[in-house]
Structure 1
Amino acid sequence: MSSLEADRGRGPGAAPEDPERLGLVLVICAPSGTGKSTLVRRLVEEFPRFAFSVSCTTRAPRGQERDGVDYHFLSKDDFLSMRDKGEFAEWAEVHGNYYGTPLAPLRKELDQGRDVLFDIDVQGAMQLKRSFSDGLYVFLLPPSRAELERRLRGRGTDAEEAIRRRLAGAAKEMHAATEFDHWIVNDDLDRAYEELRAVYLAGRSKPVFLPGLLRGILQSFEEEG
């Protein structure tokens, strides 16, 4: 249920508004252990233009988390009221708590030409696709079940039961891969990153995200013709 930002403070390195283009939604899903976090981190480091959408949740704040910065912390009643009014781009219930991405701030970022990257589960991705069908939906695949199990065990952080649960979940998630626009097999990290990078760059040139570009160029021909 998370989206990522390159510069939360919108300081000198933050992406400026771009009136010549609309922002795109980039959604990346993968079974646990596929290497998604590493690839997403590399993409955000190279392209400091991704905007951040603060998610809503009904869980209590943890540690130093601040309302409106890390999450919008809502009561269950308030969250369900927003959900019923269609105010979330995507939402889900996880371990008894609700999480969701507010739709209005997300549309504002996109209208200002900022791209938004989502590192979320399949359920959230499918909800986003209903609202943002022109987005880029990428599914990362492990080379095989054996390799995925090797990676999960190699992390040394999960008990046997958790590993079995993650492998079972991976099998279910990969059945949803056909709903995605792009597949990338992460058998080599550098090659997988180059493919992800290429998908993103190609997506930024789609006409739907550049409504004023052709008009401006054609106008220059008319003025000089």
Structure 2
Amino acid sequence: MNHKGILIVVSGFSGAGKGTLMKQMVRSYENYALSISMTTREPRPGEEEGKEYFFVSKEEFEDKISKDGLIEYASYCDNYYGTPREYVERQLERGKDVILEIEIQGALKVRKKFPTALLLFVMPPSVAELKKRLEGRGTESQEVIKKRLRRACEEAEGIEEYDYIVINDELEECVREMHSLIRAAHYAPVRNGEFIEKMKKELGTL
């Protein structure tokens, strides 16, 4: 079988709990590597350089773009976000399943460059719960929360491009569900072309 890792793109409405889910996935299972995105936005309280994000200036980010050092990048709420290429490709070659937590524009760009990427969209159980989680952060103004909710409405238009929807109601259950989907994805024919061809070749010699 093909032991190369697969690329998993996780998107979802802001406040759906993507970050918490991803951290729990990495803690619960050994085979996942979280890709750290690069951004031009200011760090939130408690965020560390190189842990949640690589925080860079607009000039530094644009330099990366010009040198093709990013798998994807997009502008969201007046800031750049992007995925450094080198780290992702190195982890996949090592057999790690690499999780990219990115928004919808970036996800669709990744699917074009990596057709075998698995796209998962995380949703809260209801809109009321989404609003409650955003307000519970305590880090953003009502104006920013409203902007994120309006953005969620726009994002809903692209959900049909994803492979699976994951409802984040209870954390542990959601983590188990995501892990099962990813394990199953390893056995999809689209990700095992070499193995299938080898079997056909060997069968043809019998």
TM-score range, shorter chain: 0.7 to 0.9
Q: Point out where structure 1 has 5 or more consecutive residues left out of the alignment.
A: 1-18
Tell me by how many angstroms 1:111 deviates. Answer: 2.8
Contact 1:51 1:117 in 2 (8 A): yes
The match for 2:26 among 44, 50, 68 is: 44
Query: Aligned partner of 1:32: which letter?
Result: S
Is 2:167 the counterpart of 1:178?
no
Q: Distance in 1 between matches of 2:35 and 2:173?
A: 29
Please give the root-mean-square deviation of Cα atoms over the aligned residues, in Å.
3.6
Question: Which secondary structure state, in structure 1, belongs to the residue aligned with residue 4 of structure 2?
Answer: coil
Provide the C-alpha distance between the structure 2 equivalents of 1:191 and 1:57, rounded to a whole number of angstroms.
Answer: 31
Letter in 1 for 2:153: A
Alignment partner of 1:200: what SS? helix
Checking the alignment, whether the CA contact within 8 Å between 2:13 and 2:155 is kept in structure 1 is: yes
Whole-Å separation in 1 of the counterparts to 2:6 and 2:122? 19
Give secondary structure in 2 for the equivalent of 1:175: helix
Identify the residue that residue 102 of structure 1 maps to in structure 2: 84
Find the counterpart in structure 1 of residue 125 from structure 2.
Answer: 143
Give distance in 1, aligned partners of 2:35 and 2:12: 21
The DSSP-based 3-state class of the residue aligned with 2:151 is helix
> In the aligned structure 2, how far is the partner of 1:151 from the partner of 1:54?
23
| Larger helix percent | 2
Instruction: Report the counterpart of residue 114 of structure 2 in structure 1.
Output: 132
Distance change (3 Å), C-alpha of 1:52 and 1:151: closer
Residue identity over aligned pairs, in percent, reads: 33
Residue 20 of structure 1: how far off its partner (Å):
4.9
Number of aligned pairs? 201
Matched, 1:192 2:182: no
Q: TM-score, normalised to structure 1's length?
A: 0.69
CA shift in 2, pair 1:23/1:170, >3 Å: same
SS at match of 2:72: strand
CA deviation map 1:94-126 (0-9, x unaligned): 566544323344333323322211111111111
Distance in 1 (CA, whole Å) between partners of 2:15 and 2:36 is: 25
* Aligned partner letter, 2:85: L
- Counterpart of 2:100? 118
SS in 2 for 1:130: helix
Residue 163 (1) aligns with residue 138 (2): no
**Structure 1 residue 83: Cα displacement:** 2.8
**Could you say which structure has the larger radius of gyration?**
1
- The TM-score, its normalising length taken from structure 2, stands at 0.75
Alpha-carbon offset, residue 54 of structure 1? 5.5
User: Once structures 1 and 2 are overlaid, which stretch shifts more, 188-197 or 96-105?
Assistant: 96-105
Q: State the alpha-carbon separation in 1 of the partners of residues 63 and 144 from structure 2.
A: 34
**How far, CA to CA, are the matches of 2:125 and 2:42 in structure 1?**
38
Q: Give the conservation status (yes or no) of the 8 Å contact 1:141–1:183.
A: yes
**1:220 positional shift:** 10
- Pairwise CA distance, 1:201: 1.3
